[in-house]
Amino acid sequence: RSADCKTQTVIAGDGCWAVAKRCGITQQQLEKLNPKKCPNIQVGQKLCCTAGTLPQPAVPNGNADGTCKTQKVVAGDGCWAIAQRCKNGIDEKTLDKINNGICSKLQIGTKGTLPKPKPDANGNCKVYQIKDKDTCWEIAKSKEISEAEIDTWNKKNWSWKGCNQLKIAQKICVSPGNPPADPRPKPDANGNCFAYSVKANDGCWAVAEANGITVADIEKYNAKTFRWIGCKSLQVGMNICLSTGNPPLPPVDPNAQCGQTSIDKKTGKRNLKCALNACCSTWGYCGTTEEFCVEKPNFTGCQSNCGMGYPFDKTSPASHPQYRVGYYESWSVSRGCEVMTPNQIPVEKYTHIHFAFATVSASFQIEIEQKVMNTFKDFCNLSGTKKVLSIGGWAFNDPPTQNRFTDMVTSHRPTFIASVLNLLKNYNLDGIDIDWEYPTASDRGGKDSDAANYLALVKELRAAMNSKYSLSIAAPASLWYLKGFAIAEMSQYLDYIVYMTYDIHGQWDYAIKWTGPFLKSHVNWGETVDALTMIVRAGVPSGKVLLGIGLYGRSFKQSDPNCTGPECTFQYQKANPGECTKEGGYLSMNEIKNIIKGGSVRKHYYDAKADSMILTFGRDQWVAYTSATINEKRRKEAIRYNLGGTVEWAIDLDNDFTGIDPKLKTRNCKSTVDNFDEISGMNSHCTDSLIVDVIAKDLRKTLDDYKSIVSNGNYDKNFNIYNDYMRSELPKQLDKFLEENGDKYFKCREEKRVICCKNVGWGGSFTEKCVEGDDCQSKQWGDASCPKKMITIGDTIWDGATAFTYELKDKNEFFGALLTEFGVPEDQIEFTRRTVHASPGCWGSSNPGPSCYVYWDGVPSIKSGYRIPNPKASIEPMLKNYTVGLEGLDGAEIDMMPLGGVIDSTVVGVYMASQSVDSMHKINEIGEKIEDEQRKQLILGFLNLFLLVVPFVGAAAIAVDGLIMTAIINSVRVLGILSEVGAAIYDIATSTSPFAFLFGLIGLFGSIGNGASMATREANFAKMANLKRGLNNAELKSLGSKPAEMIQKIDGIKSK
């Protein structure tokens, strides 16, 4: 026990301030020394004035049995009298204290002190529940006990933190005995927390109060609880911890495939894992993309098998074989066009060729349709490649043969294997490929037992076949279907796996809710990488996976032909079938090429995100495909991803090898031509390449001609003639503009001078013209319309000379009009005083003063030193782009590009440049002595040059400087706006669509050279072609006669 403090006793009328004053301290210090006492102090109560504890009064010993000694109150007693009778030295105050303040309420017959409170029969203390504003002192007084006793009896009470920290509804002991039971939830014997299921309208505060814990406790206990993101986001049905311990499992979600909410309905096992080591999302679904695989705290993201990216570190050793496999559609010989027979297959390009498809008969023998038997025999006679028979296919898994594979692998494997061995021997084949689409898939007639039985078939086939024969299967690039394959185990017995990454999307997406009917490329590269990641993570050696490449397009019927974003959808109705393939939603490369050639294209562009070409055509048709360039890039990617090679569907669809009528193959194309006229009448498969050759030759000639023209001085001499002539004409054009628009942009005031007769001292003609009257004023000012005819010095006005002032109404509006409607930039204008008339009285004077003249003030005028830019300075750097473009057109790789797009992308720009250089030729033919018509031809020549400069300089430069637009517009005005050619050039210079076209086109010429990658060049050719295709006929014609003429010639050649 600490030392006693010095005290002061509370007397009547005291407050804490008065007691503190007697103590010689501040009230704040008194309250700190006596916590929870102020302001409720009582008369007779002692308070500490210094540090320490209140001194305990000397209390005499009680009886031996623990009871106190007593005195009975008699009439006339006070505490002093009773204390005297006790005869044990007790004083009055001590007597009052040990009797709980009885001195103020003595009654005759009572005995001093009351019995001390005791525990109940079970040893439990008496309990008091704290109310608002309760203090220990008040509770002690009401229960006739002391504050010290309250503290002692509650030492073991779970909620006790001292008299200074009482809480409403807290239960405390007010007697000796066992304290109230701890109601807080406890972990179970296995270390699991006390779980609580959140109910409607629950909040953390209410749950905490009901369970004797705090909100902070709930936050702490649930740091590792499934999907816990804090008290602010409680979810009904969520299982949370109300104690320490392991977090509870969440409620079961009957639809969950994996994770903590999943359950095996047969075994009752919880927390399932995804097949193929796929990621498990927070909602219990399996997948391989970001929404499944990215980890977040407390399983609010991926739950298991988490992580993104292709596992390069888990791929096969680099020493595995590299294959290039191609499928051959046996039914192609039955098509009315685009026929490819086995002997036309380019076997040198492939290590293996798969003949698609054989089937399985009702007796579980391999069966080849009679109508393709001859084709199959021709196929078997091929040499220079491995010949593989592919069994099954998508259609074979449709009724009525939908269950044939399931039945075979279940109980007829020996029969099937014997048939395989017999076929390999009798037909000189090199391998077998099985295309079962798809085992275990309920929507394809599968059963759960298919996976194990398919594995057994592959294992038994491998054991039965000679090692010289290859064994492969086709596998889907979809988790939904691939999970039905024991793919990692199967890969041990396979030479390679045909991974169908060429059919990621198709018309079937329409009925799948998680993919939806969105227009997506079936060969989307991002999704292809996700699929490769999935199969390698599933445990398949990367060296046994062949990357699927599509030599065809998947097409759709657009819901909205004008939609271009990622949310664009397709219709339930299939896209139009191809002319030769005859299948809706499926177009060969040849058919795509013919669509582009046919002129029904609405848009054709490269989608960089999907690494695919997109073509829209007709009214509502959409198709995605990969070009030869993209496919070559993907073959290189297969090596980088350490795969076993590539597999292509299908050889007979590839425009590199098919789509040519056999009779045309006997006729050779010319290796070179000099002009478009020489191409006319040639075979259609020759024309595109030769057209590109002519365009390249014409561009080379244009560049050479330009260098020749600027190397002599004639061009610069003639530019000076043009410049001088235009500078002399421009002020006239400005005056004409002011005559037509003065009142629109200016507020004019007129000062009219008259001759008053009272001021005339002579007769004659002047007297006849004077104004009579004494009130005549010689100067009369007022608002007036601006002059409709601009007057120059030397004019004579007999009806009274008129002076004007021009006051600009709106500066921005005026200069904007000059630039857009007239072509004069602000920095070429100054506001001047113009002398328009000399007074009659000054005529003949040798030194007339200012009063002799009539002035127009504030008249906008052309600055004397304005300049016209020489287009040669801008054309020279611009033609560097054309030089780079010429390299691209001459390059050996150009034939690997879609040539129709190459033609459309270059024809306008090349012949615009040619047209401009032709204009320079004409300029050089005109000398100094020129007549009006020749002058117009000179101006027209320069106009064509300016037109070429406009898109290169760009809209921003024109807006700032304005000189080029000035030159164009004023040249047209000088020619006369009715000039057909001049008006056309004016239109393109001031029109948004052709201007934007040229600006984009010429800039892209520099990005199609050999220095760029194949993919970049092809993408930029496509962009340039789309710019051209975006112009209507009128806009194309406005670019000049030569581009229009050449486009007409090319269209004529391609239409034949």
User: What are the two backbone dihedrals, phi and then psi, of residue 831, each rounded to the nearest 5 degrees?
Assistant: -105, 120
Comparing 680 with 227, the larger pLDDT belongs to 227
pLDDT tier for residue 645 given thresholds of 50, 70 and 90: very high
Domain check: are 263 and 375 in the same one?
A: no
Please determine, for residue 375, whether its predicted confidence score (pLDDT) is greater than 50.
yes
* 136 shares a domain with 21: no
Indicate if 849 and 887 belong to the same structural domain.
no
Q: Of the given ranges (567-571, 816-820, 832-836, 888-892), which has the lowest mean pLDDT?
A: 888-892
Is there a domain that residue 308 lies in? no
304 beta partners: 280
Q: Tell whether 974 and 827 lie within a shared domain.
A: no
Q: Please indicate, yes or no, if residue 16 is contained in any of the structural domains.
A: yes
Please state the rounded mean pLDDT for residues 870-897: 62
pLDDT at 505 over 60: yes
Give the mean model confidence (pLDDT) for residues 426-431: 96
**Partner residues linked to 473 by β-bridges:** 434, 497
Residues 854 and 925 in one domain: no
- pLDDT for residue 1039: 67
Cβ distance 356 to 390 under 8 Å? yes
Q: How high is the pLDDT of residue 17?
A: 87
On whether both 892 and 852 belong to a single domain, the answer is no
For residues 702 and 823, state if they share a domain. no
pLDDT at 865: 74
Q: What percent of the chain has pLDDT over 70?
A: 74
- For 44-80, the pLDDT digits (tens) are 778 899 998 887 666 666 665 545 677 777 766 777 5
Question: Using 50, 70 and 90 to split pLDDT, how confident is the model at 845?
Answer: low
Tell me the range of 4-13, 422-431, 990-999 where mean pLDDT is highest.
422-431
Which string of b and e fits 119-153 if b means at least 16 CB within 10 Å?
eeeeebbbebebeeebbbbebbbebebbbebbeeb
Q: Is the pLDDT of residue 139 over 90?
A: yes
The answer to the question of residue 878 being in a domain is: yes
**1043 in the same domain as 895:** yes
In a domain, 47, yes or no: yes
How many structural domains are present in the chain? Answer: 6
Residue 271 predicted with pLDDT over 90: no
437 is catalytic: yes
Q: What is the predicted pLDDT for the residue at 935?
A: 55
DSSP assignment of 337-365, as one string? SS---GGGS-GGG-SEEEEEEEEE-TTS-
**pLDDT attached to residue 108:** 62
pLDDT at 279: 93
Containing domain of residue 1022, as a range? 692-712+869-1054
pLDDT at 925 over 90: no
Domain CATH code at residue 13: 3.10.350.10
pLDDT number for residue 986: 47
CB 702 within 8 A of CB 914: yes
Rounded to 10 degrees, what is the CA torsion of 343, 346, 347, 348?
140
> Which of 844, 862, 880 is the C-terminal boundary of a domain?
862
pLDDT at residue number 819: 73
Query: Catalytic one among 149, 437, 591, 751?
Result: 437
Extract the tokens encoding 456.
């057994």
Q: CB within 8 A of 126, min separation 6: which ones?
A: 117, 119, 120, 173, 174, 175, 177
Please indicate, yes or no, whether residues 1017 and 1035 belong to a single structural domain of this protein: yes
Which residues partner with 129 through β-bridges? 171
pLDDT at 274 over 50: yes
Confidence of residue 799 (pLDDT cuts 50, 70, 90): very low
Among 136, 153, 173, which residue terminates a domain?
Answer: 173
Angle value at C-alpha 469, between 464 and 471, nearest 5 degrees: 80
361/290: higher pLDDT: 361
Q: Residues 903, 955: one domain? A: yes
Claim to verify: residue 887 and residue 1035 sit in the same structural domain: yes
Look up tokens 């001759």; give the residue.
755
Judge if 30 and 165 occupy the same domain.
no
Q: What is the pLDDT of residue 898?
A: 59
When the pLDDT of each residue in the chain is averaged and rounded to a whole number, the result is 81
In a domain, 211, yes or no: no
Determine, yes or no, domain membership for 327.
no
pLDDT in tens, 148-190: 999 999 999 998 999 999 988 899 999 999 999 998 999 999 9
Query: What's the whole-number mean pLDDT along residues 890-919?
Result: 67
730 in a structural domain: no
* Local confidence band at 520 (pLDDT 50, 70, 90 cut-offs): very high
Look up tokens 């043969």; give the residue. 401
Answer with the one of 441, 464, 495 that is the final residue of a domain: 495
Q: Find the DSSP H helices in 361-469.
A: 373-380, 404-411, 413-426, 450-464
Q: DSSP alpha helices (H): ranges in 427-500? A: 450-464, 479-482, 487-490
Higher-scoring residue by pLDDT: 890, 130: 130
Indicate whether 1017 pLDDT > 70. no
The Cα 294–Cα 297 span in angstroms is 10
Residues 6+ positions from 98 with CB-CB distance below 8 Å: 57, 59, 68, 112, 113
In a domain, 917, yes or no: yes
- Whether residue 765 has pLDDT greater than 60: no
